[in-house]
Amino acid sequence: MQKVESSDISKKVSVRLGRKPVLEGFEEELVEYCLEMDRTFYGLRRRDVRKMAYQLAILNKLKHPFSIEAKMAGKKWLQKFLRRHPQLSFRKPQLISMARVQAFTKENVGLFFNLLKPQLEKIQFRAHRIFNCGETGITVVQHAPQDVSI
């Protein structure tokens, strides 16, 4: 019987079994793009990520098992992609109206706090006496959000 060194065994054991990822060299690029979109408050849907994977495979002439009719990667591919990259996940975004998004600027926030500070000093409320609540309790957002990547 031949004696095998432990370094040889560790090399053999560290070999990954199964298929290689379809976008092996481009997955990190796709992950970075998803994270950049999240940083700019533009979340991507599952469908968007699947379509981008298909486009990456086509543009780089990679052999792929993706659907040519649907022009996107499959649901199983996305599931495995997310497993390989745990920094990505899908979350349900908070409902918010377009008017609120457009009004939320640095100038408007500064103006609000410039008005708030003298009032708080005048009334002398402590922080535990300030509550966050809406005026009417009626939502102005018209649709239910879809899950987006983060």
Q: Dump pLDDT digits (tens) for 100-138.
A: 778 888 898 899 889 888 888 888 877 777 666 666 665
Does 74 reside within a domain? yes
Residue 142 lies in a domain: no
Between 138 and 58, name the one with better pLDDT: 58
Q: Would you say residue 34 lies in a domain?
A: yes
- Sign of the CA dihedral with 55 first, then 57, 58, and 64 last: negative
Q: Classify residue 112: in a domain, yes or no.
A: no
Residue 80 lies in a domain: yes
User: Over 90: is that where the pLDDT of 75 sits?
Assistant: yes
pLDDT at 4 (0 to 100)? 55
Is residue 119 one of the residues assigned to a domain? Answer: no
pLDDT at 100: 78
**Domain assignment of residue 108, yes or no:** no
- Helix axes of 27-39 and 46-59: crossing angle, nearest 10 degrees: 140
| pTM score, whole prediction | 0.58
Residue 63 pLDDT exceeds 60: yes
| DSSP labels, 101-114 | HHH--HHHHHHHHH
Number of domains in the chain: 1
Kindly state whether residue 63 falls inside one of the protein's structural domains: yes
State the residue range of the domain holding 51: 22-91
